[in-house]
Amino acid sequence: MIEQLTELSGRISGLIWTSPVTLMVLLGTGLYLTIRMGLIQIRGFRHSLDLVRGRYSHPEDVGEVSHFQALSTALSATVGTGNIAGVATAISLGGPGALFWMWVTAFLGMATKFTECTLALKFREVDPDGTVAGGPMYTLANGLKMRRLAVAFATFAMIASFGIGNMVQANSVVDGLGYIWPGLEQQAWWLGLFMALGVGLVIIGGVRRIARVASALVPFMAILYVSGAIMVLVQHYAEIPATLGRILNHALN
More confident residue, 178 or 242: 242
Predicted local confidence at residue 72, as pLDDT: 81
Per-residue confidence at 59, pLDDT binned at 50, 70, 90? low
Q: What is the average pLDDT value for the chain, to the nearest integer?
A: 84
Place 140 in a pLDDT band, splitting at 50, 70 and 90.
Answer: very high
Residue 60 reports pLDDT greater than 70: no
Number of domains in the chain: 1
For residue 32, what pLDDT is reported? Answer: 95
C-beta of residue 251 within 8 angstroms of C-beta of residue 94? no
Q: With b meaning 16 or more CB within 10 Å and e meaning fewer, what string describes 213-238?
A: bbbeebeeeeeeeeeeeeeeeeeeee
What is residue 7's predicted lDDT score, i.e. its pLDDT?
A: 76
Task: Say which residues have a Cβ less than 8 Å from residue 102's Cβ, sequence separation at least 6.
Answer: 87, 90
Q: What is the pTM of this model?
A: 0.78
**Cβ-contact 211, 65 below 8 angstroms:** yes
- Model confidence at 139, pLDDT cuts 50, 70, 90, reads very high
pLDDT band per the 50, 70, 90 thresholds, residue 12 = confident
Question: Model confidence at 232, in pLDDT bands (50, 70, 90)?
Answer: very high
* Residue pLDDT, tens place only, 121-137: 899 888 777 778 888 99
Count of alpha carbons within 13 angstroms of residue 58, beta-carbon side: 4
Average pLDDT of the residues in 184-189: 79
Dihedral sign computed on CA atoms, order 66, 228, 191, 1:
positive
Q: What is the DSSP letter of 239?
A: G
On the question of pLDDT at 115 being above 90, the answer is yes
Residue 164 pLDDT > 90: no
Structural domain of residue 182, as residue ranges?
Answer: 2-54+63-252
Confidence of residue 187 (pLDDT cuts 50, 70, 90): confident
More confident residue, 110 or 68: 110
